Amino acid sequence: MSKAGDKFDQARRNFLRGIGLGTAAAVAQPAWGGQTFQDALADFFQKDYRRMSKEEIDEALGRIERRVKAQYDVDIDCQNTPPQENVVYGYAINISRCIGCRYCVHACVKENNLGRDSQVQYIRVLELDQGNFNLEQSDHYYDPEKVPVEGKHYLPVQCMQCDDPPCVKACPVEATWMEPDGIVVVDYDWCIGCRYCMAACPYWARHFNWTTPELPAKEINTNCHYLGNRPRPRGVVEKCHFCIHRVRKGQQPACMEACPTGARIFGNLLDPDSEIRYVLANKQVFRLKEDLGTEPKFWYFSD
Amino acid sequence: MNVVRFIFDGIREMFRGPRIYWIWLAVLTAIIAFGAWNYSLQLADGLVVTGMSDQVSWGFYISNFAFLVGIAAAAVLLVIPAYIFDRKDIKEVVLVGEGMAVAAVTMAILFVIADLGRPDRLWHMIPVLGRFNFPVSLLAWDVLVLTVYLLLNLAIPFYVLYSRYRGKQPNFRAYFPFVVIAMFWAISIHTVTAFLFSANPARPFWHTALLGPRFIASAFASGPALIIITLQIVRKTTSYKISQSVIDTLALIMTTALQINLFFVGAELFTDFYNEGAHAASIHYLFFGLGGFSSLRTWIWLALALNLIAVTILMIHPTRRHPVLLNVACILTFVGIWIEKGMGLVIPGFVPTPLGEIFEYVPTSVELAVAAGIWAFGVLVFTLLAKAVIAIEMGKVRQRESESALSF
């Protein structure tokens, strides 16, 4: 692992960028991390998401947009789309169709404004030998010329949106919870960064911003949600949120849209006519680490 | 007014002493400053300056935290014989033990704060003002029990010393209930800290009912080890009389606790390795390495060796009673448990990850420096508290008659 090397490289880049930004910032807003004093103060005393009034959330969204503008000179539209009535989302992956191309991973990184240098990815695709399902013998960093490789099979893993999520129980400040539509979300402005949730998660689905995530300004997805893909601050935990900014508007998650083989199936578990319900009723499905009692809303099946 | 004067006199006593005492304070302050400077680097760049990663998301800080909660809990080993069995000899040093508990809890709390990604949001934990996930989150439990334990260990000695300061006998009935609470509380802080880890089925290495008992046993070995050494230092550097019988009692407790702890380690090893399954991967990594990675292997065998040598010295009466050998056993126990319950407990929980990835953790110089700073801060807190406690206990610091007449 060249982790240390990466860090030095990181420091150097930060330094170089600092020179460039410093001159620009000196003209616009000198202090408070590119924010006005008023915004910085309001950020500090901001209540947690579930206790903010409608007006307070609107103000918070405004501050988020101004923060991103100051940092990247990009206008994002940070929304707060509420959950739909009578909807609980579920996911299923047809592992016999997965070819390990990682298109889902790349789509997710772009869609969700994941830190590029920090290399955070919500989806991890494991490569296993045919006939082997021992995760400890999986290859996380497979890199062949062409996929799928003969004799291998692939297992994409991401947040299972557990119905009894151990991460939510772990959080000492209730900065993470399950929304009415079943999505486990994080309030990035409330998380204190203790990382107990990461220790509690059996699926390694939670990731921490060890440094300020860096995004190329041109690639920022401006369609954002408070509980989802808005650019994150440093020192907080984040995770897959089923593309909350898309699915609450009736769109598919980015990973599903990107999948070239149609291995991914997403839908409303409460709708008896949904494709996901068809899969659950007619395929031999299984869940990862079912024995832990976390009740994932994420299934695997094969043809 | 009396209380203010008491505190004032106490603080004045803390900063009075021979040159060597001042040099000691200066050395500690220098280490603290070095740690603080390194912490400022961490604040500026984020936790990326540590060796931690998404794979191994807790490291040296939480390791020290787990160990120090045990040291804090061990003060109860002086409190029980002193107050319940009315051992006069131990009663004379019980306040020193409580001072050590204060220092240890302070360090434990500082290690958690050093580990936070957003220390600026610490207020989110304050009930009402923030959101305190009690009683669901074990971390919320830990914050609560540690805070109360700190207050108990400040309040009881404060009352006793304040009475002595005024030349009165403390009213035993007034503070006895708090002593009883503090006793149970001491066990609770370490149990809760063990449960913090064992509550996670996601980490099979921690997910064992034996973890709580093991934490208590190892704490009751490492704690007395530190107290024995400290009492000897106090005996050497001050004219405060410390009876040998106190040290003998602590050495016996330590012997038993260390034996029990080693038995527990053996029980873990048997259960995990007799029919080795996937859940034994972490302990395999710890003791033998896994997939070519084995950074903890040398350390854990060293810890085991240190504890075995120590327990041998302690089990043989003549060697345990030998002053030099006893000190050797104490140092070996302290270091051995520090490795076993620190890095040896926290890190393997993350290796391999729940998805089977093997990624090693090595603390960076920043982490080591911050940790050194926190340890030095704890030693400083203890030094200052012990200095005032001993002076008041010996009657050197007393309310003057004229003042008590003037006070209102």
Please check whether residue B199 is in contact with residue B345, taking contact to mean a CB–CB distance below 8 angstroms. no
- Which run of H or E residues covers position A238? strand A237-238
Helices (H) and strands (E) in chain A, counts: 9, 11
Please check whether residue A126 is in contact with residue A157, taking contact to mean a CB–CB distance below 8 angstroms. yes
Q: Show residues of chain B in contact with A199, CB under 8 Å.
A: 57-58, 200, 202-203, 349-350
Shortest CA gap A273–chain B (Å): 33
Q: For residues B100 and B72, what is the distance between their CA atoms, to the nearest angstrom?
A: 7
pLDDT in tens, A17-51: 444 444 444 444 445 667 888 999 999 999 999 99
Q: For residues B377 and B104, what is the distance between their CA atoms, to the nearest angstrom?
A: 10
**N-terminal to C-terminal alpha carbon distance within chain A:** 38
Q: Show residues of chain B in contact with A198, CB under 8 Å.
A: 54, 57
Q: Do B355 and A1 touch (CB under 8 A)?
A: no
- Annotate A117-163 with DSSP letters as a single string: TTT--S-EEEEEETT---GGG-BSS---SSSSPTTEEEEEE-----S
Chain B residue with CA closest to A11: the answer is B45
Would you give the DSSP letter of residue B293? B
Please check whether residue A168 is in contact with residue A254, taking contact to mean a CB–CB distance below 8 angstroms. no
Please check whether residue A118 is in contact with residue A209, taking contact to mean a CB–CB distance below 8 angstroms. yes
Q: For residues A290 and A95, what is the distance between their CA atoms, to the nearest angstrom?
A: 17
Instruction: Decide if pLDDT at A227 tops 80.
Output: yes
Chain B residue with CA closest to A189: the answer is B121
Q: Show residues of chain A in contact with B348, CB under 8 Å.
A: none
Please give the interface size between A and B, counted as residue pairs whose CB atoms are below 8 Å apart.
155
Please check whether residue B286 is in contact with residue B348, taking contact to mean a CB–CB distance below 8 angstroms. yes
B2-406: CATH topology is Formate dehydrogenase/DMSO reductase fold (1.20.1630)
Phi, psi values for residue B360, rounded to 5°: -95, 155
Three-state SS at A92: strand
Shortest CA gap A113–chain B (Å): 18
Instruction: Decide if pLDDT at B34 tops 60.
Output: yes
The ipTM value here is: 0.94
Q: Do A204 and B112 touch (CB under 8 A)?
A: no
Residue among B57, B201, B202 minimizing CB distance to A208: B57
Domains of chain A: 81-303 (3.30.70.20)
Shortest CA gap A171–chain B (Å): 6
Q: For residues B126 and B395, what is the distance between their CA atoms, to the nearest angstrom?
A: 40
Residue among A136, A173, A175 minimizing CB distance to B281: A136
Residue among A173, A174, A204 minimizing CB distance to B354: A204
Average pLDDT over residues A52-63: 96
Q: Show residues of chain A in contact with B136, CB under 8 Å.
A: 169
Among candidates A143, A84, A34, which has minimal Cα distance to A269? A84
Q: For residues A224 and A79, what is the distance between their CA atoms, to the nearest angstrom?
A: 6
Among candidates A295, A302, A301, which has minimal Cα distance to A88? A295
Residue among B117, B355, B359 minimizing CB distance to A208: B117
Average pLDDT over residues B195-216: 97
Among candidates B381, B348, B312, which has minimal Cα distance to B63? B348
Tokens read off for A131? 């006939």
CA atoms within a 13 Å half-sphere pointing along the CA-CB vector of A200 = 24
pLDDT of residue A31: 52
Calculate what percentage of chain B has a pLDDT beyond 90.
93
Chain A residue with CA closest to B360: the answer is A1
Q: Show residues of chain A in contact with B196, CB under 8 Å.
A: 196
Q: Do B125 and A173 touch (CB under 8 A)?
A: yes
Q: For residues B344 and B349, what is the distance between their CA atoms, to the nearest angstrom?
A: 9
Q: For residues B310 and B336, what is the distance between their CA atoms, to the nearest angstrom?
A: 9
pLDDT in tens, A151-208: 999 999 999 999 999 999 999 999 999 999 999 999 999 999 999 999 999 999 999 9
Q: Do B58 and A195 touch (CB under 8 A)?
A: yes
Calculate what percentage of chain B has a pLDDT beyond 70.
98
What average pLDDT does the structure give for chain B? 95
Tokens read off for B217? 């046993």
Higher-pLDDT residue of A161, B404: A161
Residue among A136, A193, A203 minimizing CB distance to B116: A193
Q: For residues A258 and A251, what is the distance between their CA atoms, to the nearest angstrom?
A: 13
Three-state SS at A276: helix
pLDDT of residue B399: 87
pLDDT of residue A17: 46
Residue among B50, B121, B200 minimizing CB distance to A199: B200
Q: Do B278 and A200 touch (CB under 8 A)?
A: no
pLDDT in tens, B238-276: 999 999 999 999 999 999 999 999 999 999 999 999 999
Report the residue of A204, A211, A290, A292 to disrupt the B interface, i.e. the one with the largest count of B CBs within 10 Å: A204
pLDDT in tens, B330-370: 999 999 999 999 999 999 999 999 999 999 999 999 999 99
Chain A residue with CA closest to B293: the answer is A1
